[in-house]
Protein backbone atom coordinates (compact mmCIF):
# COMPACT_ATOMS: atom_id res chain seq x y z
CA UNK A 1 0.00 0.00 0.00
CA UNK A 2 1.31 3.45 -0.84
CA UNK A 3 1.78 6.08 1.86
CA UNK A 4 1.09 9.80 1.50
CA UNK A 5 1.69 12.53 4.06
CA UNK A 6 -0.60 15.37 4.96
CA UNK A 7 1.64 18.45 4.51
CA UNK A 8 1.35 19.29 8.22
CA UNK A 9 2.34 15.75 9.20
CA UNK A 10 5.46 16.05 7.07
CA UNK A 11 6.26 19.35 8.78
CA UNK A 12 5.80 17.67 12.19
CA UNK A 13 8.19 14.90 11.18
CA UNK A 14 10.86 17.34 10.02
CA UNK A 15 10.46 19.52 13.12
CA UNK A 16 10.83 16.52 15.43
CA UNK A 17 13.94 15.30 13.58
CA UNK A 18 15.47 18.77 13.85
CA UNK A 19 14.55 19.06 17.55
CA UNK A 20 16.04 15.68 18.45
CA UNK A 21 19.23 16.34 16.45
CA UNK A 22 19.58 19.64 18.31
CA UNK A 23 19.25 17.80 21.64
CA UNK A 24 21.82 15.14 20.71
CA UNK A 25 23.56 14.68 17.38
CA UNK A 26 22.11 11.62 15.62
CA UNK A 27 19.05 11.33 17.85
CA UNK A 28 16.85 12.87 15.17
CA UNK A 29 18.12 10.30 12.71
CA UNK A 30 17.16 7.54 15.16
CA UNK A 31 13.71 9.11 15.45
CA UNK A 32 13.35 9.18 11.66
CA UNK A 33 14.43 5.53 11.47
CA UNK A 34 11.80 4.63 14.09
CA UNK A 35 9.15 6.44 12.02
CA UNK A 36 10.29 4.64 8.84
CA UNK A 37 10.01 1.29 10.61
CA UNK A 38 6.53 2.23 11.80
CA UNK A 39 5.48 3.24 8.29
CA UNK A 40 6.80 -0.05 6.92
CA UNK A 41 4.78 -2.01 9.47
CA UNK A 42 1.68 0.09 8.77
CA UNK A 43 1.99 -0.46 5.01
CA UNK A 44 2.34 -4.22 5.52
CA UNK A 45 -0.60 -4.51 7.94
CA UNK A 46 -2.68 -1.31 7.80
CA UNK A 47 -5.63 -2.76 9.72
CA UNK A 48 -3.54 -4.13 12.59
CA UNK A 49 -3.27 -0.99 14.69
CA UNK A 50 -5.69 0.47 17.20
CA UNK A 51 -8.33 3.00 16.23
CA UNK A 52 -7.62 6.56 17.33
CA UNK A 53 -11.01 7.79 16.10
CA UNK A 54 -13.72 6.13 14.06
CA UNK A 55 -11.82 6.98 10.85
CA UNK A 56 -8.16 6.92 11.89
CA UNK A 57 -5.67 4.56 13.49
CA UNK A 58 -2.49 5.04 15.45
CA UNK A 59 0.88 3.38 15.57
CA UNK A 60 2.88 4.15 18.72
CA UNK A 61 6.63 4.45 18.25
CA UNK A 62 8.83 2.23 20.40
CA UNK A 63 11.58 4.59 21.50
CA UNK A 64 9.98 8.04 21.37
CA UNK A 65 6.78 9.56 22.81
CA UNK A 66 5.19 9.88 19.37
CA UNK A 67 2.48 8.18 17.40
CA UNK A 68 1.77 7.98 13.70
CA UNK A 69 -1.89 8.79 13.09
CA UNK A 70 -3.18 7.60 9.73
CA UNK A 71 -6.26 6.79 7.76
CA UNK A 72 -6.84 4.28 4.98
CA UNK A 73 -8.46 5.57 1.80
CA UNK A 74 -9.04 3.22 -1.12
CA UNK A 75 -5.63 1.77 -1.94
CA UNK A 76 -3.40 4.13 0.02
CA UNK A 77 -2.55 5.30 3.53
CA UNK A 78 -2.59 8.95 4.49
CA UNK A 79 -0.46 9.98 7.46
CA UNK A 80 -2.47 12.64 9.25
CA UNK A 81 -0.01 13.43 12.04
CA UNK A 82 3.30 12.59 13.61
CA UNK A 83 1.96 13.48 17.04
CA UNK A 84 3.79 13.93 20.32
CA UNK A 85 1.88 11.85 22.86
CA UNK A 86 2.63 14.34 25.65
CA UNK A 87 1.10 17.34 23.94
CA UNK A 88 -2.44 18.49 23.25
CA UNK A 89 -4.38 15.37 22.23
CA UNK A 90 -6.32 15.21 19.00
CA UNK A 91 -5.13 18.62 17.72
CA UNK A 92 -4.91 17.02 14.26
CA UNK A 93 -8.54 15.84 14.19
CA UNK A 94 -9.61 18.36 11.51
CA UNK A 95 -7.17 16.70 9.06
CA UNK A 96 -9.41 13.64 8.77
**pLDDT tens figures, 76-92:** 999 999 999 888 877 78
**pLDDT tens figures, 32-59:** 999 999 999 999 999 999 999 999 999 9
Q: What angle is formed at CA 31 by the lines to CA 87 and CA 22, rounded to 5 degrees? A: 80
CA distances from 42 to 32, 51, 53, 93 (A): 15, 13, 17, 20
Mean pLDDT calculated for residue range 14-41: 97
pTM for this structure? Answer: 0.92
Contact criterion met (CB below 8 Å) for 71 and 57: yes
Contact criterion met (CB below 8 Å) for 75 and 1: yes
What is the CATH class of 2-86?
Answer: alpha beta
Q: Provide the residue ranges of all domains of the chain, joining segments of one domain with +.
A: 2-86
Amino acid sequence: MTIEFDPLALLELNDAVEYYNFQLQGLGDRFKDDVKLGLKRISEHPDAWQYQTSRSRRFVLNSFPYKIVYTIRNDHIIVLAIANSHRKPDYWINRE
